[in-house]
């Protein structure tokens, strides 16, 4: 069976073109070959090497395996950042060229990228951006670079921010379905799309505050700082945004880009900017290459499968970075068949915490959270494992660390958030989708024989009875009280003077940006993952500037691991990809995925809404 799977996979595999090697030839070094082995004109030319890195998609932070059976190993955000840092330290590289396509990452990840570009520029090297069309988020990355290029037929799709919340109550009514809901928190609006056809006053208030804060600080302020030659004011930038989107010529006239250039003109453009005769662009700089496999030999493939072993861990001191990416659920978690990303399983996350705690080479732990929350029970299990850990724990928030995501971060001795992180959402709700109406419409009838007044709590055929609602509400109220108490205790341990009454005023399910959360004492510092790692070193009594090895946990599963676990899900993945092509389907998948992935846990601590910021 394994051999069959390998043969099928091999038939689908097409090797990627390997990037050509472009060695830097300017100047002399001890390793320089005799002149007769190089063309004389190449020795006499002044040549610069440019590192090319392509960025696209949502730049997921989930751990990835270090090798892949077919093609190059997958990359995540950290892989991209490490390649930029590598280029900064590489004496053979004179400039960085970022190629941007369809960036959909949140403001937290964008901040990580902007920091990496800023650090690259601090070495005195030039930075260039090229994109056929710059979306708003791609433009925010581009603003940190020295030069921004688009082709003449391209453009800049900068037109501000827009929040869209879609409501499904009428759709559920048409399908004879009903959402039965209980909640604690006026702003806990995760359930609103299922029980209403419009936005509540409280939800509109929090979304407006969130949008305003990020619009002013993440977009307007960054445009002003990123285009200093134009000496824009905030009002001027807002006026420009109101005119968007822009053609390439209009963007150039407004000073949003530096030059209209086609891709085949980039080499000459780079050379002029760098003051050299020639440039050598090293495509996909620092990216790991695919394994060299004989695809005609099934035994070679089996051998490659067997060679996918875990790399041997060094005995050097290290910092463990534990990633919690996706909706939080009880059990194993892993790849989400709906969202396409990962879900945070309580079992592997707790196991990762225990592994880091027992590992004598690990001196401190950083918890990196990019999660809207999920199961209240699973969140509490992870919180407990972190809280009882005997090593220093620092929390770092990415794009989102809300509700259950904030819950697990509370265990940190210090909490770092990105300025644009969506966090808070301290609230609890219970939800079940009642299918009895649809069953009856389809001609099905259900009769019940039961013992126990509340035996129908988990029934999807019937709504909660008065007794069942009372029992569930009691549970939700108690979990909410625990959430509040643990949040207050965690803030006190971090040295924040906050009363229970104050925290209650910030809770109720309300969300905040990282900036707003810091102002209210919900987080301690604004900073990147690297800032959190530096703090972890400090907490462990180590010089924050000392370079240390990182232990990334939980360890990513290889292709073989997934094959053995029966978790490859190739056919479903293909169907999901096709489904996303249907207009509006992607929005429904993103909204429904966290709820469905945590459906076995009726009580949830989940972000109060799914909103599309466009």
Known catalytic residues are 188, 403
393-402 and 362-371 strand pairing: parallel
Structure tokens at 265: 């003109």
State the alpha helices, DSSP H only, in 494-525. Answer: 500-506, 514-519
**CA nearest 396: which of 370, 423, 368, 424?**
368
Q: Provide the 8-state DSSP code for 215.
A: I
The helix (run of H) or strand (run of E) holding residue 52 is: strand 47-57
Structure tokens at 359: 């590992």
In angstroms, the CA 60 to CA 341 distance is: 8
Q: Is 320 helix (H, G, I), strand (E, B) or coil?
A: strand
Edge-to-edge order in the sheet of strand 428-434: 178-184, 428-434, 603-606, 373-375, 328-329, 342-345, 333-335
Q: Give the rounded distance of the alpha carbon of 568 from its chain centre.
A: 22
Angle at 518 between CA 513 and CA 363, to 5 degrees: 105
In angstroms, the CA 288 to CA 76 distance is: 12
In angstroms, the CA 473 to CA 182 distance is: 7
Contact between 97 and 230 under an 8 Å Cβ cutoff? The reply is no
Helix/strand/coil (H/E/C) assignment for every residue in 331-377? CCEEECCCCCCEEEEHHHHHHHHHHHHHCCCEEEEEEEEEECEEEHH
The CA-atom distances, in angstroms, between 536 and each of 150, 356, 368, 488, 555 are 41, 13, 12, 22, 20
Q: Provide the 8-state DSSP code for 146.
A: S
């Amino acid at each position: 069976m394994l051999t069959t799977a390998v043969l099928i996979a091999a038939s689908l595999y097409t090797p990627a073109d390997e990037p050509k090697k472009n060695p830097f030839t300017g100047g002399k070094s001890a390793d320089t070959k005799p002149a007769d082995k190089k063309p004389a004109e190449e020795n006499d030319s002044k040549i610069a090497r440019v590192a090319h890195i392509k960025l696209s998609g949502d730049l997921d932070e989930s751990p990835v395996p270090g090798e892949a059976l077919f093609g190059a190993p997958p990359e995540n955000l950290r892989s991209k950042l490490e390649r930029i840092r590598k280029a900064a330290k590489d004496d053979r590289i004179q400039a960085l060229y970022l190629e941007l396509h369809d960036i959909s990452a949140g403001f937290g990840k964008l901040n990580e990228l902007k920091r990496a570009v800023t650090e690259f520029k601090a070495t005195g090297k030039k930075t260039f951006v090229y994109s056929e069309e710059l979306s708003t988020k791609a433009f925010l990355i581009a603003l940190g670079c020295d030069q921004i290029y688009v082709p003449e037929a391209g453009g800049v799709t900068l037109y501000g921010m827009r929040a869209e919340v879609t409501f499904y109550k009428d759709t559920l009514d048409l399908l004879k379905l009903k959402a039965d809901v209980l909640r604690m928190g006026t702003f806990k609006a995760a359930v609103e799309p299922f029980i209403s056809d419009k936005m509540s006053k409280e939800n509109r208030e929090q979304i407006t505050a969130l949008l305003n804060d990020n619009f002013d600080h993440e977009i307007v302020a960054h445009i002003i700082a990123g285009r200093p030659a134009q000496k824009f004011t905030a009002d001027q930038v807002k006026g420009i945004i109101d005119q968007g989107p822009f053609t390439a010529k209009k963007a150039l006239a407004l000073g949003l880009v530096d030059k209209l250039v086609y891709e085949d003109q980039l080499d000459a453009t780079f050379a002029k900017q760098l003051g050299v005769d020639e440039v050598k662009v090293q495509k996909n700089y620092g990216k790991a290459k695919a394994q060299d496999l004989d695809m005609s030999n099934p035994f070679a493939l089996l051998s490659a499968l067997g060679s996918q072993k875990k790399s041997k861990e060094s005995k050097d001191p290290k910092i463990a970075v534990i990633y919690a990416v996706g909706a939080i659920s009880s059990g194993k978690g892993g790849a989400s068949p709906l969202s396409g990303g990962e879900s945070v399983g309580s079992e592997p996350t707790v196991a990762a915490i225990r592994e880091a705690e027992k590992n004598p080479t690990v001196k401190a732990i950083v918890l990196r959270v990019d999660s809207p929350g999920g199961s209240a029970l699973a969140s509490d299990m992870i919180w407990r494992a972190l809280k009882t850990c005997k090593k220093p724990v620092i929390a770092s928030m990415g794009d989102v660390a809300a509700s259950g995501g904030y819950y697990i971060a509370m265990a940190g001795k210090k909490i770092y958030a990105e300025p644009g992180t969506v966090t808070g959402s301290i609230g609890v709700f219970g939800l079940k989708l009642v299918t009895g109406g649809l069953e009856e419409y389809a001609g099905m009838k259900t009769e019940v024989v039961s013992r126990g007044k509340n035996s129908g709590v988990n029934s999807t055929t019937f709504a909660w009875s008065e007794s069942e609602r009372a029992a569930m509400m009691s549970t939700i109220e108690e979990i909410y009280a625990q959430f509040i108490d643990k949040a207050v205790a965690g803030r006190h341990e971090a040295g924040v003077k906050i009363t229970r009454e104050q925290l209650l005023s910030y809770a109720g399910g309300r969300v905040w940006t990282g900036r707003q959360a810091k102002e209210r004492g919900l987080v301690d510092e604004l900073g990147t993952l690297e800032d959190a790692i530096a703090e972890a070193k400090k907490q462990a009594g180590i010089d924050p500037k000392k370079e240390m090895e990182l232990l990334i946990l939980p360890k990513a599963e290889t292709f073989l691991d997934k094959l053995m676990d029966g978790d490859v899900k190739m056919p479903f993945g293909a169907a999901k990809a096709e489904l996303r092509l249907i207009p509006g389907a992607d929005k429904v998948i993103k909204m429904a995925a966290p709820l469905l992935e945590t459906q076995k846990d009726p009580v949830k601590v989940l972000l109060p809404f799914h909103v599309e910021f466009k």
